[in-house]
């Protein structure tokens, strides 16, 4: 979906394809804001609460496993280890990758997985010392000043395979669009976690996060409503389009539930498209056609709702564009809206057909969620890295989403570092809860 960009850090190499992309503004949703809301004690993750807080041999998710790659003398905080793949700082033959720093060795600073970056840092350090001994430990300028130490221990990005280059992000622009947002809460019948993180490419180039995600509950029916959008990078204000599409979808679904019936997907999607057209007309000061609005606000959209049912939750979703949804159960991922490369899916190529275009009929599905299953809805920044779910990223998320993590834990998990996968990433996760007695609410008909 994204157009390839030339990265100055990779001069002389082919332009890489960049995968896909974001959460509702909430008073408690941003990293760095106090308080994350009280979590149901039955759904607090024991592996999180029981983890020693200041032991560098424990990452944010708890004790390191007993496999040989996670032994105390080889464990690096922030790294994820897979016994069948070896350590991330070694190749499959067990040899050290160039430029890797092991525990007990002095840090090479940002980009330690890139020998050319380490060499440049050494040059910078020597130059700084020659000019008055200002350089200490190779830390030169804003790109270096935060990388020598991770605080608190365990909050370094989780490394999957080869990490991306370390650097200090640039600001996203004039609008207040946080780098990272997350939220988490539970109803009597469902637990929700969601997070959206700015991609490494947007951080490097100083562009805003173009993903968005929102979720709320309809109190009268206990129905959870959600929307995930991925602004198309070629659109001038993709981030605005994504937010407008999500907000409109939730508003229309709420109106339908208030009227006593289930959301009607054609009306939900058509209204979201109309809002983009009207916003573009206000921006230009004249009537415009959908093609012009697409150049300004083009975005994908997955809208959905989950209603309490005796067996768990009944979920319904509709999609425009290439964002995705998956059902995770027993470590296996099943596409809920058709895989991106599935010949039978509505989206079968790399072309994106976003809002304000509305297909007729829209791509939609309905499914039942039972305890032990997780519904995941995300942008292609997550989906492209996930693939078919059988690789390292799939195993990582299957392990830590078997039960609801803290909301901030999902944000940390989603911000994993893996070379070439540098697009915005957004993910909403929905677990059905086991409720004593009747599990069903008075959902829409």
pLDDT, residue 16, reads 40
pLDDT tens-digit readout, 267-290: 999 999 999 999 999 999 998 889
pLDDT, residue 83, reads 33
Q: Select the highest-mean-pLDDT range: 154-168, 189-203, 431-445.
A: 189-203
Give the mean pLDDT of 382-386.
97
pLDDT, residue 107, reads 34
pLDDT, residue 160, reads 94
**What is the percent of the chain with per-residue pLDDT over 90, rounded to a whole number?**
54
Q: How far apart are the first and last CA of the chain?
A: 36
Is residue 247, in this structure, part of any structural domain at all? Answer: yes
Supply the DSSP symbol for 118.
H
Confidence of residue 41 (pLDDT cuts 50, 70, 90): very low
Give the mean pLDDT of 206-217.
97
pLDDT tens-digit readout, 287-324: 888 999 999 999 999 999 999 999 999 999 999 999 99
Is residue 437, in this structure, part of any structural domain at all? Answer: no
Distance separating alpha carbons of residues 417 and 311, to the nearest angstrom: 38
Supply the DSSP symbol for 221.
T
pLDDT tens-digit readout, 398-411: 999 999 999 999 99
Give the mean pLDDT of 319-331.
96
Alpha helices by DSSP H, listed for 74-130, are 115-130
pLDDT, residue 21, reads 36
pLDDT, residue 152, reads 72
φ and ψ at 341, to 5 degrees?
-110, 20
Is residue 39, in this structure, part of any structural domain at all? Answer: no
**Sequence-ordered list of residues with C-beta below 8 angstroms from that of 259, at least 6 positions apart, any chain:** none
pLDDT exceeds 70 at position 328: yes
Is residue 199, in this structure, part of any structural domain at all? Answer: yes
CATH code, domain with 204: 3.60.40.10
**Sequence-ordered list of residues with C-beta below 8 angstroms from that of 113, at least 6 positions apart, any chain:** 89, 97, 99, 100, 162, 163, 165
pLDDT, residue 177, reads 87
Confidence of residue 156 (pLDDT cuts 50, 70, 90): confident
pLDDT exceeds 70 at position 28: no
pLDDT exceeds 50 at position 381: yes
Beta-sheet strands, E only, within 256-343: 299-309, 312-320, 324-329, 332-335
Q: Select the highest-mean-pLDDT range: 8-17, 45-54, 352-361, 419-428.
A: 419-428
Structural domain containing residue 411: 15-31+170-432
pLDDT tens-digit readout, 46-84: 323 333 333 333 333 333 333 333 333 332 333 333 333
- Pair 192, 186: CB distance under 8 Å: yes
- Picking from 216, 214, 218, 240, the residue whose alpha carbon sits closest to that of residue 228 is 214
Q: Which residues pair with 308 in a beta bridge?
A: 313
Is residue 80, in this structure, part of any structural domain at all? Answer: no
| DSSP line for 50-86 | TS-SS-TTEETTEEPPSSGGG-TTT--TTB--BTTTB
- Pair 430, 374: CB distance under 8 Å: yes
Confidence of residue 150 (pLDDT cuts 50, 70, 90): low
- Picking from 281, 304, 303, 311, the residue whose alpha carbon sits closest to that of residue 293 is 281
- Picking from 187, 428, 213, the residue whose alpha carbon sits closest to that of residue 308 is 187
Q: If 0-12 CB within 10 Å is exposed, 13-18 middle and 19+ buried, where does residue 26 land?
A: middle
Give the mean pLDDT of 246-264.
98
Is residue 159, in this structure, part of any structural domain at all? Answer: no
The sheet with strand 324-329 has its strands ordered as 180-186, 190-197, 425-432, 373-378, 324-329, 332-335
Is residue 410, in this structure, part of any structural domain at all? Answer: yes
What is the number of domains present in the chain?
1
Residue 428 host element (H or E):
strand 425-432
Distance separating alpha carbons of residues 321 and 52, to the nearest angstrom: 43
- Pair 159, 150: CB distance under 8 Å: no
Q: Select the highest-mean-pLDDT range: 1-15, 61-75, 357-371.
A: 357-371
C-alpha distances in angstroms, 413 versus 128, 307, 393, 403? 37, 27, 10, 14
Distance separating alpha carbons of residues 134 and 127, to the nearest angstrom: 9
pTM, entire model:
0.67
Distance separating alpha carbons of residues 399 and 386, to the nearest angstrom: 13
Q: How far is CA 112 from the centre of its chain?
A: 25
Is residue 126, in this structure, part of any structural domain at all? Answer: no
Distance separating alpha carbons of residues 306 and 224, to the nearest angstrom: 5
> Which residues in 50-67 are b (16+ Cβ under 10 Å) and which e?
ebeeeeebbbbbbebeee
pLDDT, residue 104, reads 33
């Amino acid at each position: 979906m994204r157009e390839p960009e030339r990265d100055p850090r990779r001069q002389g190499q082919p332009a890489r394809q960049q995968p896909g992309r974001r959460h509702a503004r909430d008073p408690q949703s941003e990293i760095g804001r106090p308080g994350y809301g009280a979590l149901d004690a039955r759904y607090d993750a024991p592996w999180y609460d029981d983890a020693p807080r200041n032991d560098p041999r424990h990452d944010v998710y708890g004790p390191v496993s007993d496999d040989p790659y996670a032994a105390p003398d080889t464990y690096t905080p922030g790294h994820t280890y897979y016994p069948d793949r070896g350590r991330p700082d070694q190749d499959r033959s067990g040899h050290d990758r160039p430029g890797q720093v092991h525990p007990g060795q002095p840090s090479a600073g940002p980009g330690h997985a890139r020998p050319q970056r380490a060499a440049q840092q050494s040059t910078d350090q020597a130059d700084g010392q020659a000019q008055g001994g200002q350089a200490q430990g190779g830390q030169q300028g804003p790109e270096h000043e935060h990388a020598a130490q991770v605080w608190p221990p365990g909050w370094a990005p989780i490394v999957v395979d080869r990490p991306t280059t370390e650097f200090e992000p640039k600001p996203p622009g004039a609008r207040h669009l946080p780098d990272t947002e997350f939220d988490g809460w539970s109803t009597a019948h469902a637990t929700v976690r969601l997070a959206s993180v700015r991609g490494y490419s947007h951080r490097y180039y100083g562009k805003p996060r173009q993903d968005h995600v929102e979720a709320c509950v309809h109190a009268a029916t206990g129905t959870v409503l959600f929307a995930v959008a991925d602004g198309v990078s070629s659109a001038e204000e993709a981030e605005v389009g994504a937010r407008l599409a999500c907000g409109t979808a939730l508003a229309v679904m709420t109106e339908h539930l208030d009227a006593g019936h289930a959301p009607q997907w054609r009306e939900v999607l058509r209204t979201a498209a109309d809002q983009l057209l009207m916003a573009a007309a206000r921006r230009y000061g004249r009537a415009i056609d959908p093609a012009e609005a697409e150049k300004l606000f083009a975005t994908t959209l997955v809208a959905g709702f989950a209603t309490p049912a005796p067996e768990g939750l009944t979920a319904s979703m509709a999609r425009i564009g290439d964002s995705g949804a998956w059902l995770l159960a027993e470590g296996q991922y099943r596409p809920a809206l058709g895989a991106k490369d599935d010949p039978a899916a509505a989206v079968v190529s790399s072309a994106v057909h976003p809002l304000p275009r509305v297909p007729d009929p829209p791509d939609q599905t309905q499914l039942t969620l039972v305890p032990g299953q997780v519904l995941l809805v995300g942008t292609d920044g997550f989906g492209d890295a996930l693939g078919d779910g059988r690789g390292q990223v799939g195993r990582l998320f299957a392990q830590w989403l078997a039960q609801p993590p803290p909301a901030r834990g999902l944000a940390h998990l989603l911000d994993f570092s893996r070379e070439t996968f540098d697009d915005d990433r957004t993910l909403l996760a929905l677990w059905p809860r086991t409720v004593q007695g009747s599990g069903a609410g008075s959902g829409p008909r």
